[in-house]
Amino acid sequence: DLPSRNRPKWISKVVTYRIISYTRDLPRVTVDHLVAKALNMWSKEIPLSFRRVVLGIPDIVIGFARGGPNVTPTCQAFSLGWLSGLSRGFLKQNVPETHKHAHRPAAHGDFYPFDGPGGTLAHAYEPGPGLGGDAHFDEDERWADGRGLGINFLAVATHELGHSLGLRHSSDPDSVMYPTYGARDSENFKLSPGDIREIQELYGKRSKS
């Protein structure tokens, strides 16, 4: 069979993450909890764990930003954060999963500004230095925790963090890596068998011992 294309993955057994900006739609503790829940969905299947850091430079930067020319102050701070990230290796042609062409000026520190309400909800980078692994959520969406109206943040975070771990899109509508958002209730939200197979193909199985 064809040699598998170079599938970037995290080598360290512990991957650090830092949430550097939040959304007005949800309490911060809810975002913290749902990010931890999304990460745990993946890490419980593989021999890899996540550690949250609140200072310094993590492997995975998570944050909310809005696109468009009128960048709000929070985003400026955000993009400054990313600009420092840029020097960390963006020039390695890091491209988030959803774009294959750099075209417009940076809006939140990378070359992929968001598009206002609807449309693209979020994007993320495959494992690597600098922007590698980072996950950006469109602040212009109405984010919800699965109870109220709005986009289910847990479902989108699980999709994006799948990219952060090295997964690509799936053509299986039951997969969390399906390229379009399907309104799922976050109560019984879980990885599909295909998602588990894909992530274990990349990182191996977590031993039961």
Ligand X SMILES: CC(C)C[C@H](CC(=O)NO)C(=O)N[C@H]1Cc2cn(c3ccccc23)CCCCCCNC1=O
Name the minimum Å distance from CB 209 to Zn ion: 34
Q: Which run of H or of E encompasses 28?
A: helix 28-43
Q: Residue written as tokens 């468009």?
A: 68
Select from 53, 156, 154 the least CA-distant residue to 98: 156
| Type of residue found at 206 | R
For residues 3 and 69, which CB has a smaller minimum distance to Zn ion in the complex? 69
Binding-site string for Ca ion from residue 97 to residue 126, where x marks contact by CB under 5 A and - marks none: ------------------x---xx------
160 part of the active site:
yes
Residue the block writes with tokens 């949250």: 52
Q: Is 137 helix (H, G, I), strand (E, B) or coil?
A: strand
Q: Which of 138, 160, 195, 198 binds Ca ion (CB under 5 A)?
A: 138
Out of 160, 187, 198, 201, the active site residue is: 160
Q: Give dist(CA 108, CA 98) in Å, integer.
A: 16
If one asks whether residue 66 binds Zn ion (CB under 5 A), the answer comes out as no
Chain residues that interact with ligand X, rule: CB under 6 A: 97-98, 118-124, 156, 159-160, 163, 179-181
Under the rule (CB under 5 A), what is the footprint of Ca ion? 115, 119-120, 138
Q: Which residues are catalytic?
A: 160
